[in-house]
Amino acid sequence: KFDPKMLSALDLAFVGDGVYGLLVREMLARDGSRPVGELHRMAVAYVNATAQAAAYDRIAPLLTEQEQAVYRRGRNGGAHPPKNADPGHYAKATGLEALFGYLYLNGAQERARELFEAITANKENAKQN
């Protein structure tokens, strides 16, 4: 059987990056039709390291012990930030992505959606420009 716990933190973050990005795109699409360039700019405002670090801060109190452990694994997973990224924000963003990847691979999509809804409850606070 497949056990997501056996994946590296960066493997979980790789999957979680896609999951989180898809949730952002779905949210934006539900808000109504816009030009693709505008949708892309809006999505980037949610999926950059600074915005994802702030997203983690919003959901941290809601996480179970297991979810916190997965987040910490991702945060400490050794990802090297791009030159223009704050290392602290990048580590937190990687932890958040690892968490979303773990939830998805464990079949806990509803929990991932619940956490995403908590992140985006106030959309203006959910993104950092």
What is the pLDDT, as a whole number, of residue 5? 85
Question: Rounded CA gap, 113 and 70, in Å?
Answer: 17
Does residue 73 carry a pLDDT above 60? Answer: yes
What is the pLDDT, as a whole number, of residue 129? 45
Residue type for position 20: Y
Residue type for position 7: L
For the chain, what is the HEC assignment? CCCHHHCCHHHHHHHHHHHHHHHHHHHHHHCCCCCHHHHHHHHHHHHCHHHHHHHHHHHHHHCCHHHHHHHHHHHCCCCCCCCCCCHHHHHHHHHHHHHHHHHHHCCCHHHHHHHHHHHCCCHHHHCCC
Question: Rounded CA gap, 106 and 13, in Å?
Answer: 14
What is the pLDDT, as a whole number, of residue 128? 53
Under a CB-based contact definition with an 8 Å cutoff, are residues 74 and 97 in contact?
yes
What is the pLDDT, as a whole number, of residue 124? 59
Q: Which residues are catalytic?
A: 17
Question: Rounded CA gap, 109 and 57, in Å?
Answer: 20
When pLDDT is averaged across residues 61-86 and rounded to a whole number, the result is: 92
What is the pLDDT, as a whole number, of residue 78? 80
What is the pLDDT, as a whole number, of residue 125? 57
8-63 confidence digits (pLDDT tens): 999 999 999 999 999 999 999 998 889 999 999 999 999 999 999 999 999 999 99
94-127 confidence digits (pLDDT tens): 999 999 999 999 999 999 999 999 999 976 555 6
Does residue 68 carry a pLDDT above 90? Answer: yes
Grade residue 84 by pLDDT with cuts at 50, 70 and 90.
Answer: confident
